Amino acid sequence: MQRAWFSGVGLCLAFALLPVAAATAATTAAVRVDFSEHTLKNGLRVQLVEDRTTPVIAVNVAYDVGSRNERPGLTGFAHLFEHMMFKGSKNVGDGEHFYQVFTNGGSMNGTTSADITLYFEALPANQLELALFLEADRMRSLEITQAKLDNQRQAVQEERRMRVDNQPYGRSYERFDELFYDNFGYQHSTIGSMEDLNAASVEDVAEFFRIYYAPNNAVLSVVGDFKRDDALALIRKYFEDIPRQPAPPPVDLIDPPQKAERRETLTDPLARAAQLLIGYKGDVGNGPDQAALQVLSSVLQSGDSSRLYQTISKEKELVTGIGGYVEERIGTGGFYITATVRPDRKPEEVEAAIYEEISRIVEHPIADWELQKARNATRMGYLQSIRSAQNRARILGTYTILFRDPHLINTRLAKIEAVTRADVQRVAKKYLQPTNRTVLTTLPAPAAAPTPTPGP
């Protein structure tokens, strides 16, 4: 289930020179991203990672804002605003941000989710100043006009048509969050509704920019081939005189405990097969159960060796696809399972088989080899994710905004390694309960009856 909507679109490292196979064999203690932190006078939090292994730099600006900060009647605003950030600022023309980065051999984009908004670029190391200038200029002086708002409103509405309205199961994913969550911050779609997008005004955009795009509501993470003091001097040059703003109003993101199963069935004229979306409310933020839930998810539904794939797809041949993940959010997260039902099978059969596999884990500890496999897979995936400078910058900024703890980049593997078989069974019993479950079944629309041929 995709929660983040992409608008055009997770050193000095102790293992930086090792191939992946060797890196994954390294001890957890050897996996480390060395970074320094600095706070400018205006409250901008700065993170620097020097890595001389390749002549590149990566810049990531993480803003502490997402669709969680929207209010009824203006949904989709955070994502709409992300588009506006590419429409030019005082010293950068409309579309010039892309042009400057691409013509200097770089890449760039932005993304908005319920919890966070990110802007990022990677460039040759000699273009660090360019990247910092571009990001600072739009943080300081974004140009907001009616014409630009109308243009990007139309772009976002077209994106909604492509990703939701005219996409098989698109409305199902949107409806699932509405059913799953009680809290408005997570309940509504990040991409928003057509009506709410039309309601956004220039004044709304300007106020959103003032409140949420202030330096004291952002984290700047820079990774790559530079000297720390030189980079910090450039950052102070371009960012430090941007005025800070009052802190944004806090948002309550904790859902109350769920007391009974929630269930709904939709008919989708674009779907060609039935689909099951199953979700269980999970831990909050970087909570104490997150690591065990990640291992549980890996054992149950990650990859071809997982229990759900082996039993439901391979042995019983009930589905054409099955899998899921654990979502970590600032507030209440979730444990999700998605299954696409074979045409000759019924959703009820698939659902019963999934619950049977869950019951096995609830009633009996997983095997030692399953625990080790989950640790190995998590370690491999995580080490691969932090190999690139861009991903390291993104992860540092994301952990800082979401969990107020950038050091998770160095402690996350230790949390996974500490998970025991008993921990996995405990969180399965705690969270994968019928009363904590939400189920959305999507059925293909019935075939239209043939039009009778007129008689002579």
The whole-angstrom separation of Cα 141 and Cα 51 is: 31
Which amino acid appears at position 67 of this protein? S
pLDDT above 70 as % of the chain: 91
Q: What angle do CA 75, 78, 99 make, to 5 degrees?
A: 140
Question: Is 23 in a helix, a strand, or coil?
Answer: helix
The whole-angstrom separation of Cα 66 and Cα 363 is: 39
CATH topology match: 5-239 vs 262-394+405-444? yes
Domain layout of the chain by residue ranges? 5-239, 262-394+405-444
DSSP structure class, residue 92? B
User: What confidence score (pLDDT) does residue 368 get?
Assistant: 96
With contact defined as beta carbons under 8 Å apart, do 61 and 120 qualify? yes
pLDDT above 90 as % of the chain: 83
Residues of the chain where predicted confidence (pLDDT) is lower than 70? 1-30, 448-456
With contact defined as beta carbons under 8 Å apart, do 79 and 85 qualify? no
Distance of CA 449 to the CA centre of its chain: 42
User: What confidence score (pLDDT) does residue 339 get?
Assistant: 98
DSSP for 181-197, please give it: -SSHHHHS-SS--HHHH
Block residue for tokens 């507030």: 331
Q: What are phi and psi of 157, to 5 degrees?
A: -65, -35
Which amino acid appears at position 367 of this protein? A
User: What confidence score (pLDDT) does residue 455 get?
Assistant: 61
Give the length of the chain.
Answer: 456
The fold of 5-239 is Cytochrome Bc1 Complex; Chain A, domain 1 (3.30.830)
User: What confidence score (pLDDT) does residue 30 get?
Assistant: 65
The whole-angstrom separation of Cα 92 and Cα 375 is: 47
With contact defined as beta carbons under 8 Å apart, do 245 and 216 qualify? yes
With contact defined as beta carbons under 8 Å apart, do 400 and 406 qualify? yes
Does 3.40.50.1820 match the CATH number of domain 262-394+405-444?
Answer: no
Tens digit of each residue's pLDDT (9 = 90 or more) over 173-186: 999 999 999 999 99
With contact defined as beta carbons under 8 Å apart, do 122 and 58 qualify? yes
User: What confidence score (pLDDT) does residue 144 get?
Assistant: 93
